[in-house]
Structure 1
């Protein structure tokens, strides 16, 4: 999606930047981990396929993605690649039953030493707030591996509610309608600061 191609989102401890070709080699290195692929329900791709995937994230109108940077490390090193710790994505689709516009959210903190520090929580809150303010969405949803207790708990703290389990895919779906009350809650959780470049 071109919406965020010149957008940087400034958090307290993280920065969100558009996923560019220069980020692909490190991202590809992360996705060499079978554990990460399993947790994110991803397939192993060649480096060329990873570059093609990055292009589709940039070009396709139904996909929005940011790379998550450790803000302190970026400030110190001035190197986006060194500061990369993960990514956050949104897939847009229409609910087949209600025709509501849905943003399916994903968060991955890939760097092991960056986990458990609140980076994923802050990155996801910023992504939800950005998408809610920029896109005409009706609800958010997430699909999480049943064993990924950390992610399930994270989205429950965001007031997402389980709506279905698919045992064959070992997957839980949680949803959060975008209501005025929830937007008010979201505004209390995070201050959206956007910088254009």
Structure 2
């Protein structure tokens, strides 16, 4: 989803900025970590593939990706986004076809009414400081107020207990467990 280069969502602890080309090398470093790959259910990509993915995600209307900046680091580094990067948060929009193969009526009226939401705090030193809570709250507010999201869905690996607890703290409720994918699905209506 395209955003102006100066677009920012400001919080007290974090700043959310659109995922840009300048962020890719550090993001790629994060995604070299085995635990991060496992907990996020991600595939390892080459740096070139990561650059391609960033470009595609910036242009796709069914994805909204922001890099999470530690607000204090961002200020002390004089606005250096790469230095302040600690994670990312995403909204993915799915317009599901109805049984006759056409888009659902609700989706035609508001294609962003349902969004899958994700978060990753990749910098281990930034965990357990409330950054993820604020980033998710900002992302949900943005999704609701700017995009019309009415329901958020989170799919989390079942052994990622801290992430499940975070979403439950924010009012998400478990609706499904997949033994095949080893994940828990939680939902929250806005």
What TM-score do you get using the length of structure 1 for normalisation? Answer: 0.86
Measure the CA separation in 2 of the matches of 1:60 and 1:5. Answer: 16
Equivalent of 1:169 in 181, 184, 188: 181
Structure 1 residue 136 and structure 2 residue 148: aligned?
A: yes
Aligned partners of 1:96, 1:116: CA distance in 2, in Å?
40
Change (3 A) 1:15 1:139: same
Listed as ranges, the gaps of 5+ residues in structure 2 are 99-103, 108-112
Which residue of the partner structure matches residue 83 of structure 1?
Answer: 84
Deviation of 1:4 (Å):
6.0
Paired residues, what number? 178
TM superposition outliers: structure 1 runs of 4+ over 2 Å? 3-6, 94-101
Q: C-alpha offsets along residues 122-172 of structure 1, whole Å, 9 cap, x if unaligned?
A: 111000101111112221000000001111111111111111111110000
Alpha-carbon distance in 1 for matches of 2:24, 2:187: 30
- Aligned residue in 1 for 2:44: 44
Query: TM-score with structure 2 length normalisation?
Result: 0.89
Task: Name the CA distance, whole Å, in 2 between partners of 1:3 and 1:95.
Answer: 25
CA distance in 2, matches of 1:4, 1:163: 36
- Closer, same or farther: CA 147–36 of 1 in aligned 2, 3 Å: same
Unaligned runs of 5+ in 1: 179-197
Q: How far apart are the structure 2 equivalents of 1:4 and 1:110?
A: 25
| 8 Å CA contact retained: 2:3, 2:18 | no
Q: CA offsets per residue over residues 55-106 of structure 1, 9 Å max, x none?
A: 1110000000110011111111121111100000010113567756311000
For the 8 Å contact 1:11–1:126, the answer to whether it is kept is yes
Structure with more contact order per residue of length (Cα contacts < 8 Å, sep ≥ 6)? 1
Query: Which residue does the alignment assign to 1:184?
Result: none
C-alpha offsets along residues 21-57 of structure 1, whole Å, 9 cap, x if unaligned?
0000000000000100111110000001000110111
RMSD: 1.5
Q: Is 1:153 matched up with 2:165?
A: yes
